[in-house]
Amino acid sequence: MIRFALAGVLLLGAVCAAAAQEIPLDRAASGHVTIGVRFSGGPPVPFVLDTGANRTAVVAAYARARGLPLERGEAVRMHGLTGASHAVLFDLEDTDIGAGAPMSLRAVTIPEPPDAARRLPGLLGLDAFAGRRVEIDLTANRIRLDAPPPPADQARPLSPAGLPVIEAEIGGVRALALIDTGLTHSVANPALIEALAPPALRRRVQVIGLASGAATAQDQVVDDVRIGTLRRPRMLLAAADLAVFETLGLSGAPALIAGLDVLNGAIITIDLAQGVFWLAAPAQ
Protein backbone atom coordinates (compact mmCIF):
# COMPACT_ATOMS: atom_id res chain seq x y z
CA MET A 1 0.00 0.00 0.00
CA ILE A 2 1.41 3.44 -0.52
CA ARG A 3 0.46 6.66 1.09
CA PHE A 4 2.77 9.59 1.52
CA ALA A 5 3.10 10.35 5.18
CA LEU A 6 1.79 6.88 4.81
CA ALA A 7 2.04 4.55 1.85
CA GLY A 8 -0.58 2.23 0.20
CA VAL A 9 -2.72 -0.86 -0.32
CA LEU A 10 -3.18 -1.86 -3.94
CA LEU A 11 -5.22 -4.90 -4.82
CA LEU A 12 -4.54 -6.98 -7.95
CA GLY A 13 -1.48 -10.01 -8.79
CA ALA A 14 1.64 -11.27 -11.14
CA VAL A 15 5.05 -12.88 -12.11
CA CYS A 16 8.54 -13.41 -10.59
CA ALA A 17 12.34 -13.58 -10.72
CA ALA A 18 15.46 -15.70 -10.29
CA ALA A 19 18.16 -17.00 -7.93
CA ALA A 20 18.34 -16.61 -4.15
CA GLN A 21 20.08 -13.35 -3.31
CA GLU A 22 20.46 -10.58 -0.75
CA ILE A 23 19.11 -7.18 -1.81
CA PRO A 24 19.85 -3.95 0.08
CA LEU A 25 17.07 -1.62 1.17
CA ASP A 26 17.27 2.12 1.73
CA ARG A 27 15.23 4.79 3.52
CA ALA A 28 13.73 7.78 1.73
CA ALA A 29 13.66 11.23 3.34
CA SER A 30 9.94 10.58 3.97
CA GLY A 31 10.83 7.55 6.11
CA HIS A 32 9.62 4.96 3.57
CA VAL A 33 11.62 1.78 2.98
CA THR A 34 12.75 1.72 -0.64
CA ILE A 35 14.31 -0.75 -3.04
CA GLY A 36 16.24 0.11 -6.19
CA VAL A 37 14.34 -0.82 -9.37
CA ARG A 38 15.85 -0.69 -12.87
CA PHE A 39 13.86 -0.56 -16.09
CA SER A 40 15.46 -1.79 -19.34
CA GLY A 41 18.97 -1.58 -17.89
CA GLY A 42 18.61 2.03 -16.72
CA PRO A 43 19.81 3.45 -13.40
CA PRO A 44 18.09 2.26 -10.20
CA VAL A 45 15.15 4.35 -8.99
CA PRO A 46 13.75 4.11 -5.43
CA PHE A 47 10.39 2.34 -5.23
CA VAL A 48 8.60 1.95 -1.91
CA LEU A 49 8.69 -1.68 -0.72
CA ASP A 50 5.04 -2.33 0.10
CA THR A 51 3.82 -5.52 1.78
CA GLY A 52 0.34 -3.97 1.86
CA ALA A 53 0.13 -4.06 -1.95
CA ASN A 54 -0.34 -7.17 -4.05
CA ARG A 55 0.37 -5.23 -7.25
CA THR A 56 3.35 -3.10 -8.27
CA ALA A 57 2.36 0.47 -9.14
CA VAL A 58 4.01 3.34 -11.01
CA VAL A 59 3.11 7.03 -10.73
CA ALA A 60 1.45 7.84 -14.07
CA ALA A 61 3.51 10.99 -14.74
CA TYR A 62 6.73 9.06 -14.15
CA ALA A 63 5.57 6.21 -16.40
CA ARG A 64 4.82 8.65 -19.22
CA ALA A 65 8.16 10.46 -18.76
CA ARG A 66 10.00 7.13 -18.95
CA GLY A 67 8.08 6.09 -22.05
CA LEU A 68 6.58 3.02 -20.38
CA PRO A 69 4.00 1.30 -22.66
CA LEU A 70 0.79 2.71 -21.18
CA GLU A 71 -0.88 2.92 -24.60
CA ARG A 72 -0.91 -0.89 -24.78
CA GLY A 73 -2.50 -1.22 -21.34
CA GLU A 74 -6.12 -1.55 -20.26
CA ALA A 75 -8.30 0.71 -18.14
CA VAL A 76 -9.00 -0.68 -14.66
CA ARG A 77 -10.27 0.51 -11.31
CA MET A 78 -7.65 0.30 -8.58
CA HIS A 79 -8.34 0.26 -4.83
CA GLY A 80 -5.94 2.14 -2.57
CA LEU A 81 -5.72 3.46 0.96
CA THR A 82 -8.31 6.22 0.70
CA GLY A 83 -10.50 4.89 -2.10
CA ALA A 84 -10.65 3.72 -5.71
CA SER A 85 -9.25 5.48 -8.75
CA HIS A 86 -9.03 4.97 -12.49
CA ALA A 87 -5.77 3.39 -13.60
CA VAL A 88 -4.01 1.67 -16.49
CA LEU A 89 -2.91 -1.95 -16.14
CA PHE A 90 0.14 -2.49 -18.35
CA ASP A 91 3.12 -4.78 -18.93
CA LEU A 92 6.21 -3.59 -17.08
CA GLU A 93 8.89 -5.60 -18.85
CA ASP A 94 12.63 -5.90 -18.22
CA THR A 95 12.26 -4.93 -14.54
CA ASP A 96 15.31 -5.63 -12.39
CA ILE A 97 15.41 -5.48 -8.57
CA GLY A 98 18.79 -7.21 -8.27
CA ALA A 99 17.31 -10.68 -7.82
CA GLY A 100 18.78 -12.38 -10.88
CA ALA A 101 17.32 -12.09 -14.36
CA PRO A 102 14.97 -9.15 -15.09
CA MET A 103 11.27 -9.96 -14.81
CA SER A 104 8.00 -8.90 -16.35
CA LEU A 105 5.20 -7.56 -14.14
CA ARG A 106 1.63 -6.47 -14.75
CA ALA A 107 1.79 -3.06 -13.10
CA VAL A 108 -0.85 -0.41 -12.53
CA THR A 109 -0.60 3.37 -12.75
CA ILE A 110 -1.41 5.61 -9.82
CA PRO A 111 -2.00 9.39 -9.70
CA GLU A 112 0.63 11.94 -8.80
CA PRO A 113 0.84 11.97 -4.97
CA PRO A 114 -0.54 15.16 -3.36
CA ASP A 115 2.58 15.64 -1.25
CA ALA A 116 5.19 16.55 -3.87
CA ALA A 117 7.92 16.98 -1.24
CA ARG A 118 7.76 13.25 -0.57
CA ARG A 119 7.37 12.18 -4.17
CA LEU A 120 8.57 8.71 -5.12
CA PRO A 121 8.03 7.11 -8.54
CA GLY A 122 6.07 4.07 -7.40
CA LEU A 123 5.82 1.03 -5.17
CA LEU A 124 6.99 -2.54 -5.48
CA GLY A 125 4.23 -4.92 -4.43
CA LEU A 126 4.30 -8.58 -3.45
CA ASP A 127 3.74 -9.60 -7.08
CA ALA A 128 7.46 -8.94 -7.62
CA PHE A 129 8.18 -11.97 -5.40
CA ALA A 130 5.49 -14.34 -6.73
CA GLY A 131 6.34 -17.99 -6.18
CA ARG A 132 9.23 -17.15 -3.84
CA ARG A 133 9.96 -16.66 -0.16
CA VAL A 134 11.09 -13.15 0.76
CA GLU A 135 12.61 -12.21 4.12
CA ILE A 136 12.42 -8.47 4.85
CA ASP A 137 14.81 -7.49 7.64
CA LEU A 138 13.97 -3.99 8.88
CA THR A 139 16.95 -3.94 11.25
CA ALA A 140 19.62 -4.86 8.70
CA ASN A 141 17.68 -3.03 5.93
CA ARG A 142 17.89 -5.89 3.48
CA ILE A 143 15.88 -8.55 1.69
CA ARG A 144 16.86 -12.20 1.45
CA LEU A 145 15.20 -14.32 -1.19
CA ASP A 146 14.54 -18.04 -0.64
CA ALA A 147 16.36 -18.12 2.70
CA PRO A 148 15.50 -21.04 5.03
CA PRO A 149 11.98 -20.54 6.42
CA PRO A 150 11.22 -19.85 10.09
CA PRO A 151 9.55 -22.67 12.09
CA ALA A 152 6.44 -23.96 10.36
CA ASP A 153 4.35 -23.84 13.54
CA GLN A 154 4.81 -20.05 13.65
CA ALA A 155 3.49 -19.50 10.12
CA ARG A 156 0.23 -17.66 9.52
CA PRO A 157 -1.86 -17.79 6.34
CA LEU A 158 -2.00 -14.81 4.01
CA SER A 159 -5.41 -13.16 3.68
CA PRO A 160 -7.74 -13.97 0.75
CA ALA A 161 -6.23 -10.92 -0.98
CA GLY A 162 -2.77 -12.44 -0.55
CA LEU A 163 -1.67 -9.95 2.12
CA PRO A 164 -0.17 -10.48 5.62
CA VAL A 165 -2.91 -9.96 8.23
CA ILE A 166 -2.23 -11.01 11.82
CA GLU A 167 -3.92 -11.04 15.25
CA ALA A 168 -3.15 -8.03 17.45
CA GLU A 169 -4.05 -6.52 20.80
CA ILE A 170 -4.19 -2.72 20.81
CA GLY A 171 -4.61 -1.11 24.22
CA GLY A 172 -6.26 -4.30 25.47
CA VAL A 173 -8.60 -4.55 22.45
CA ARG A 174 -8.35 -7.61 20.19
CA ALA A 175 -7.93 -6.61 16.56
CA LEU A 176 -6.56 -7.68 13.19
CA ALA A 177 -3.52 -5.90 11.74
CA LEU A 178 -2.38 -5.64 8.14
CA ILE A 179 1.44 -5.68 8.02
CA ASP A 180 2.20 -2.79 5.70
CA THR A 181 5.79 -1.68 5.06
CA GLY A 182 4.43 0.97 2.69
CA LEU A 183 3.06 2.98 5.61
CA THR A 184 5.23 5.20 7.78
CA HIS A 185 2.49 5.68 10.41
CA SER A 186 -0.09 3.14 11.58
CA VAL A 187 -3.82 3.76 11.07
CA ALA A 188 -6.72 2.42 13.16
CA ASN A 189 -10.26 1.92 11.86
CA PRO A 190 -13.33 3.46 13.61
CA ALA A 191 -14.29 0.14 15.24
CA LEU A 192 -10.91 -0.01 16.99
CA ILE A 193 -11.03 3.63 18.07
CA GLU A 194 -14.54 3.22 19.50
CA ALA A 195 -13.42 0.17 21.49
CA LEU A 196 -10.50 2.04 23.06
CA ALA A 197 -11.16 4.08 26.21
CA PRO A 198 -10.73 6.87 26.93
CA PRO A 199 -10.69 8.34 23.39
CA ALA A 200 -8.00 11.02 24.07
CA LEU A 201 -8.05 12.20 20.45
CA ARG A 202 -5.29 14.62 19.59
CA ARG A 203 -4.72 16.92 16.59
CA ARG A 204 -6.28 16.45 13.18
CA VAL A 205 -3.89 15.09 10.55
CA GLN A 206 -4.05 14.08 6.90
CA VAL A 207 -3.54 10.52 5.72
CA ILE A 208 -2.26 10.75 2.16
CA GLY A 209 -2.59 7.78 -0.17
CA LEU A 210 -0.17 7.61 -3.08
CA ALA A 211 -2.82 5.71 -4.96
CA SER A 212 -5.96 7.67 -4.18
CA GLY A 213 -5.63 11.06 -2.53
CA ALA A 214 -5.96 12.17 1.07
CA ALA A 215 -8.29 11.59 4.02
CA THR A 216 -8.74 13.36 7.35
CA ALA A 217 -7.58 11.55 10.48
CA GLN A 218 -6.97 12.22 14.15
CA ASP A 219 -4.02 11.18 16.28
CA GLN A 220 -4.60 9.05 19.35
CA VAL A 221 -2.08 7.84 21.94
CA VAL A 222 -2.45 4.12 22.73
CA ASP A 223 -0.64 2.15 25.41
CA ASP A 224 0.44 -1.50 25.15
CA VAL A 225 0.38 -2.39 21.43
CA ARG A 226 0.94 -6.07 20.61
CA ILE A 227 1.08 -7.30 17.01
CA GLY A 228 2.12 -10.93 16.83
CA THR A 229 5.37 -11.01 18.81
CA LEU A 230 5.98 -7.27 18.41
CA ARG A 231 5.46 -5.10 21.50
CA ARG A 232 5.26 -1.33 21.76
CA PRO A 233 4.59 0.18 25.24
CA ARG A 234 3.06 3.33 23.74
CA MET A 235 2.45 4.66 20.24
CA LEU A 236 0.54 7.30 18.35
CA LEU A 237 -2.16 5.99 15.99
CA ALA A 238 -3.89 7.86 13.22
CA ALA A 239 -7.63 7.20 13.53
CA ALA A 240 -9.41 7.29 10.16
CA ASP A 241 -12.35 5.75 8.34
CA LEU A 242 -10.38 4.68 5.27
CA ALA A 243 -11.91 2.93 2.28
CA VAL A 244 -9.21 0.27 2.36
CA PHE A 245 -10.64 -1.24 5.56
CA GLU A 246 -13.86 -2.10 3.74
CA THR A 247 -11.94 -3.27 0.64
CA LEU A 248 -10.00 -5.76 2.75
CA GLY A 249 -13.00 -6.88 4.81
CA LEU A 250 -11.63 -5.18 7.94
CA SER A 251 -14.33 -2.58 8.55
CA GLY A 252 -16.77 -4.42 10.82
CA ALA A 253 -14.42 -5.21 13.72
CA PRO A 254 -11.38 -3.53 15.29
CA ALA A 255 -8.50 -3.40 12.82
CA LEU A 256 -5.22 -1.64 12.22
CA ILE A 257 -2.92 -1.02 9.28
CA ALA A 258 0.47 -1.49 10.96
CA GLY A 259 3.12 0.79 9.49
CA LEU A 260 6.82 1.28 10.03
CA ASP A 261 6.32 3.04 13.37
CA VAL A 262 5.53 -0.39 14.83
CA LEU A 263 7.34 -2.61 12.29
CA ASN A 264 10.80 -1.03 12.40
CA GLY A 265 13.30 -3.63 13.60
CA ALA A 266 11.05 -6.57 12.75
CA ILE A 267 11.73 -9.41 10.32
CA ILE A 268 8.83 -10.16 7.97
CA THR A 269 9.03 -13.38 5.97
CA ILE A 270 6.43 -14.00 3.27
CA ASP A 271 6.23 -17.26 1.31
CA LEU A 272 4.22 -16.44 -1.81
CA ALA A 273 4.39 -20.05 -3.03
CA GLN A 274 2.90 -21.49 0.16
CA GLY A 275 0.60 -18.54 0.98
CA VAL A 276 1.97 -18.05 4.50
CA PHE A 277 4.02 -15.48 6.42
CA TRP A 278 5.96 -14.97 9.65
CA LEU A 279 6.45 -11.86 11.78
CA ALA A 280 9.42 -11.85 14.17
CA ALA A 281 10.32 -9.25 16.76
CA PRO A 282 13.88 -7.87 16.71
CA ALA A 283 16.42 -9.95 18.63
CA GLN A 284 16.95 -8.71 22.18
Same domain, 79 and 191: no
How far from the centroid of its chain's Cα atoms is residue 157's Cα? 17
In a domain, 10, yes or no: no
Residue 167, helix vs strand vs coil: strand
Which residue, 206, 188, 265, 243, is CA-closest to 5? 206
What CATH number is associated with residue 126?
2.40.70.10
Whether 12 shows a pLDDT value over 50: the answer reads: no
In a domain, 36, yes or no: yes
The number of residues making up the chain comes to 284
User: What pTM was estimated for this model as a whole?
Assistant: 0.86
Alpha helices, H only, 211-259? 243-247
- pLDDT computed for residue 283 by the predictor: 67
Same domain, 82 and 190: no
- pLDDT computed for residue 218 by the predictor: 73
Q: Are 38 and 96 in contact (CB under 8 A)?
A: yes
Instruction: Report the share of the chain in percent with pLDDT over 90.
Output: 60
Q: Which domain holds residue 242?
A: 154-280
Measure the CA–CA gap between 68 and 270, rounded to whole angstroms: 29
- Count of domains in the chain? 2
199-212 tens-digit pLDDT: 544 444 444 444 44
Whether 228 shows a pLDDT value over 70: the answer reads: yes
